Amino acid sequence: MTCILLDLQLKEYGSPIESLSEFILSSISDITVLVLSVAVEQETFIETACYLYRASVAIMELMTTDYTCHENAMENFQSISRSVNLAKLLVEKCQKGIQPFSDPDLVTITAQLEAVIKHIGERLSFIPPSTFGDQHYAKSSVQSLSKEMQTAHFEAQASKTNGIDKKLLSFRKQPKVEPVSTPTEIDLYSINFEVSTENPQFLNTPQLIQMLRSSSWVSKRIPEDMSESLTSMPPVGQYMEPMYETFFCPLTNKIMEDPVTIRSGVTFERKAIIEWFEKLNGSEQTMLCPTTGQKLTSKAFNENIALKTTIKQWKERNEAARIKAARAALSLASSDTMVLEAVKEVQSICRRDPYNTTQVCRVGILPLLFKCLEYKNKDIRSTVLELLLQLIEDADESKEMIAQTTNIPTIIEMLSSSHRSIRHASMLLLLELSRSQALCEKIGSVTGAILMLITMKYGRSYDAFASEKADEILRNLELSPNNIKRMAENGLMEPLLKNLVEGCEELKIDMANFLGEIVLGHDSKTYVAQMVSATLIKMVHSGNTLARSAAFRTLVQLSSYQPNANILVEAGIVQVMVEEMFIRKIHNEPMNSKGEAAAIVANIFESGLELENLQVNSHGHTMTSDYVVHNIVYMLNNSTPDELNNNLIRILLVLAKIPKPKSTIVTLVKETEASYTLIELINNPHEELSIAAIKLLTVLAPHIGHLLAERLCKTRGQPESLLVEGTETTLITEKQAVSAKFLAILPHQNLTLNLALLYKNIVPTVRQEINQIQKRGTRPSRFESTYFEGLVGILVRFTTTLYEPQLLFLAKNQNFTTVFTELLMKTSSDEIQRLSAIGLENLSLESISLSKPPQIKRKKFMKLFYLPKYLSFGSSRRRRIALCPVHRGACSSQNTFCIVDAKAVEKLLDCLENENPEVVEAALSAISTLLDDKVDVDKSVSMLSEINTVQHILNAVKEHRQEGLRQKSFWVLEKFLNKGSDESVSYISNDRVLPAILVSSFHHGVGNTRQMAEKILRHLNKMPNLYT
């Protein structure tokens, strides 16, 4: 019947070992409650309950090991569960008011209970010793309990020949039990009640009843949708080992802390007996013992060391048992309620005795606590955090243990919790952990930890408490240099800067290295420059190579932000860097201090400072003096490292913007090998250096362009390497852009360069690149405009040397007239339009000599006959050949570069409406080629009048005041006044604004502009004509 009931109950729990263990624990919980209401054999039932309770703690301990996977584990648990279930049935059978029992029945029940306990003890002995690993205390405890249970003996009261008085003696009146200072065996699970016929008085004590009530586990079933488990942690009794009469002070009725024995032989709490004696001093009563009433001859007492030791050991055993029980409860807990109760139990244990904190850490509770932090329940999280903080604060040993097992990322994560209690608790725990130097690096290395703390530090308005604690944590974390770097990377610069300014030499070097590695924001660069510029400059002056290297690296970064230039200059950096570049030499120094110094100087120069008055030494030299320029060019001419060369050229580029040093640079480059050096650097693999060299050559080209062009052509691989063919998907690079611009800006009339470009077949590449750019349309890259302008400029340069037959053939073959006309139509770039207009002007000037009347060749058989003109076959053919009205010959856009045939005139007129005066002037110059004296001016004027040329020119004159533009405009207007129709003359004469412009130019113009204005004014009868 018992087996059937057990199987039915197990079906409710399930079949795994975990379910069996829960069933056993639940049954034992029921038994500890039921024994209090048993009507018969109460001693036996209470002792049975005590054994079962101790066995339950052993079972909880087993569930934390790998024993559940052992081959005989299931058999053992099943056997124990049957025994426990039998004990429960017997307890239920003996409840008060159920039925009377005869003596034989009681003897049978007692024997059955004894058999149950012995069987469970036997089953516990089957557990292999290796199950508990290195936890010797657990192994010895289970073995001790097993032996004790196997030797248990219960005796029915009905079978005793001498019955015991049913009235139990009071616990306080029981005979003294002399304490044993050194127990022979410690059982961490022991609740060793002295329940026997020799000591029956203990059974009815309030302490025992309270213990049983507080030790009982009330088994509650969880709703069906939840996993089967206990819903509440089994609270541990206040004392898990019996309390003896001798432990209590007769005066206070409390367990003694410092027991002393007076002359009567009775032991009291020291403080209590002293207070008793003090009360008697003020009275006339005879000094008596408070307990025995015996007269005392002296107040003297002796410390009861044996009892004190016994009490201490008793407390330690009970605390150890409570700790293990709490650990087991934590490991078995499966609901929020159980976890919270278990954590609070550990918290209570630690509060009673600081020593317990160390014990808690030693028995492996810490990993369980950190696992509890994964719960979402805020009460659990905050309670666990408070407990961990308590463990850290109480003992250094605990702090070390926690440091080894702490899951720092989890604590950091909870700093951002929306619950203030969790946020503050995690902050306090982290603060305590940060006091350990060993943990500082671990905390700082957690991703985002430093950033989060800095954010909270400056979020005082949101959470003042968290802000204050975050600041304290950050100060603690400064113990690690790596954390200082992390703080700087996340915007907190003060710790790094403070150590850099005030630290020892080694620390300064570390901080400077950190500062050089960090990518600073613009605001940070300014703040850092203000704080440490002077310190860094001093480090450069030192003889320590490591200090110099670190300082140079940081100064390069600080100087790269242009607003810092004034700060650095005021700190005296220029004089120091110039000295490093030109004078100072440190032998065997691995670093390139000259390159670093040149980089700093270049950064400062590019900031736009006034360099003329910036002194570089005590001799009065300034940054624009010949002293500086000569030294830089000298260094450039000598084989220096690429990085240094790049920075030297950057300095020269800035100086070339100032007239005086620019003149010196031009002279030195012209007279020394510097021009060859710069041209050779064009093909340097260091792209930044190559670009800098091309930029400097471009600046010098207007002054020594022919020299540079000649030397460029003499250099191997040039000039073709300046133009690299790209693809449709390739973005234009800066080097491509500056290279094209350099080729375009070199003197256009340099025949040597133009022929070299021709021989290297550059033009087809240029055309292809232009076509690709036009196809990309609205997807221009950063350098595309400059590159496009350079390519068009290269084409324009060929139009200036068309006297060379090969170049003339090139222009015809590539149909330059059509190319430039299309560029006028298809681009909105002012520079492209200007260059295209210049190209059309140059081509149009050649049209005059290229356009000739057509010559008809007669066939041989036709020469034998001379027919009358009206019968001539050639007359009709000649009439079919169209002659250009302007150039008086057969014209085409390809062969004679006729801009009329190319339909370019209308596009040039549109350019006259451009706001850029350079574009307008270039377009006007191209149109003016149609009014040259070598063409048919009358027909040209007539043709231009038909497309409203006069109106466009008048608009241009009104919009722009440039001298050259007005001179060309007045020249065209004069042509129309002299050769144009009455309508054109009337249009010009009736313009109300033009006379004022002419008068202004007559008064303020120079040279030809003034003369042209005067002629037009006379023609308009605005001035007297002296020649009429």
Closest to 930 in 3D by CA, of 1021, 1025, 827, 851: 851
Res. 92: pLDDT tops 90: no
Radius of gyration (C-alpha) of the chain in whole angstroms: 54
Q: At what angle do helices 42-62 and 17-34 cross, to 10 degrees?
A: 150
Torsional sign, CA 284, 287, 293, 296: negative
Give the type of residue at 689.
L
User: pLDDT at position 184, please?
Assistant: 31
- State the residue for tokens 């270039």: 922
Instruction: Give the per-residue SS3 of 408-436.
Output: HHHHHHHCCCCCHHHHHHHHHHHHHHHCC
User: pLDDT at position 243, please?
Assistant: 67
Instruction: Note the pLDDT tens digit of each residue in 824-855.
Output: 888 878 999 999 999 999 999 999 888 887 76
Indicate whether this model's pTM tops 0.85.
no
Give the type of residue at 47.
E
User: pLDDT at position 859, please?
Assistant: 52
Percent of the chain predicted with pLDDT > 90: 25
Least confident of 267-276, 510-519, 867-876: 867-876
User: pLDDT at position 665, please?
Assistant: 93
Least confident of 428-442, 621-635, 851-865: 851-865
| Residue 648 pLDDT grade (very low, low, confident, very high; cuts 50, 70, 90) | very high
**Mean residue pLDDT across the chain:** 80
User: pLDDT at position 193, please?
Assistant: 33
| Residue 136 pLDDT grade (very low, low, confident, very high; cuts 50, 70, 90) | low
Instruction: Note the pLDDT tens digit of each residue in 967-1019.
Output: 898 899 988 888 888 888 888 888 888 888 888 888 888 888 888 888 888 88
User: pLDDT at position 72, please?
Assistant: 79
Res. 590: pLDDT tops 70: no
Rounded Cα distance between 149 and 128, Å, is 17
User: pLDDT at position 702, please?
Assistant: 94
Is residue 710 within 8 A of residue 666, CB to CB? The reply is no
Give Cβ neighbours of residue 870 (< 8 Å, ≥ 6 apart).
none
Omega prior to 719 cis, within 30 of 0: yes
Instruction: Note the pLDDT tens digit of each residue in 380-419.
Output: 888 888 888 888 776 666 666 776 777 788 888 888 888 8
| Residue 522 pLDDT grade (very low, low, confident, very high; cuts 50, 70, 90) | confident
Res. 513: pLDDT tops 80: yes
DSSP state of 619: T
Closest to 43 in 3D by CA, of 148, 198, 177, 149: 198
E strand or H helix at 260, and its extent? strand 259-262
| Residue 524 pLDDT grade (very low, low, confident, very high; cuts 50, 70, 90) | confident
Res. 706: pLDDT tops 90: yes
Least confident of 156-160, 242-246, 617-621: 156-160
User: pLDDT at position 191, please?
Assistant: 35
Task: Give the Cβ contact number of residue 245 at 10 Å.
Answer: 17
User: pLDDT at position 218, please?
Assistant: 31
Find the mean pLDDT for residues 493-498: 91
Segment of 237-251, 346-360, 973-987 carrying the highest mean pLDDT: 973-987
User: pLDDT at position 881, please?
Assistant: 56
Task: Give the Cβ contact number of residue 480 at 10 Å.
Answer: 19
Instruction: Note the pLDDT tens digit of each residue in 163-196.
Output: 433 332 333 333 333 333 333 333 333 333 333 3
Q: Specify the higher pLDDT residue, 493 or 187.
A: 493
Q: How far is CA 936 from the centre of its chain?
A: 75
Is residue 342 within 8 A of residue 375, CB to CB? The reply is no
Res. 132: pLDDT tops 80: no
Torsional sign, CA 986, 988, 991, 997: negative
Percent of the chain predicted with pLDDT > 70: 82
User: pLDDT at position 688, please?
Assistant: 93
User: pLDDT at position 654, please?
Assistant: 93
Q: Specify the higher pLDDT residue, 882 or 963.
A: 963
Give Cβ neighbours of residue 993 (< 8 Å, ≥ 6 apart).
958
Res. 26: pLDDT tops 90: no
HSE of 590 in the Cβ direction (CA atoms, 13 Å)?
A: 6
Instruction: Note the pLDDT tens digit of each residue in 732-782.
Output: 899 999 999 999 999 999 999 999 999 999 999 999 988 888 887 655 678
Find the mean pLDDT for residues 320-332: 78
| Residue 588 pLDDT grade (very low, low, confident, very high; cuts 50, 70, 90) | low
* DSSP tally for the chain: helices H, then strands E: 48, 3
Q: Show the tokens assigned to 815.
A: 């149909």
Closest to 473 in 3D by CA, of 438, 431, 514, 433: 431
Res. 815: pLDDT tops 60: yes
Res. 211: pLDDT tops 60: no
Give the type of residue at 364.
G
Is residue 324 within 8 A of residue 363, CB to CB? The reply is yes
Least confident of 69-78, 427-436, 498-507, 564-573: 69-78
Cβ burial, residue 498 (10 Å; 0-12/13-18/19+): middle
Rounded Cα distance between 353 and 342, Å, is 18
Rounded Cα distance between 48 and 819, Å, is 112
Give Cβ neighbours of residue 495 (< 8 Å, ≥ 6 apart).
474, 478, 484, 487, 488
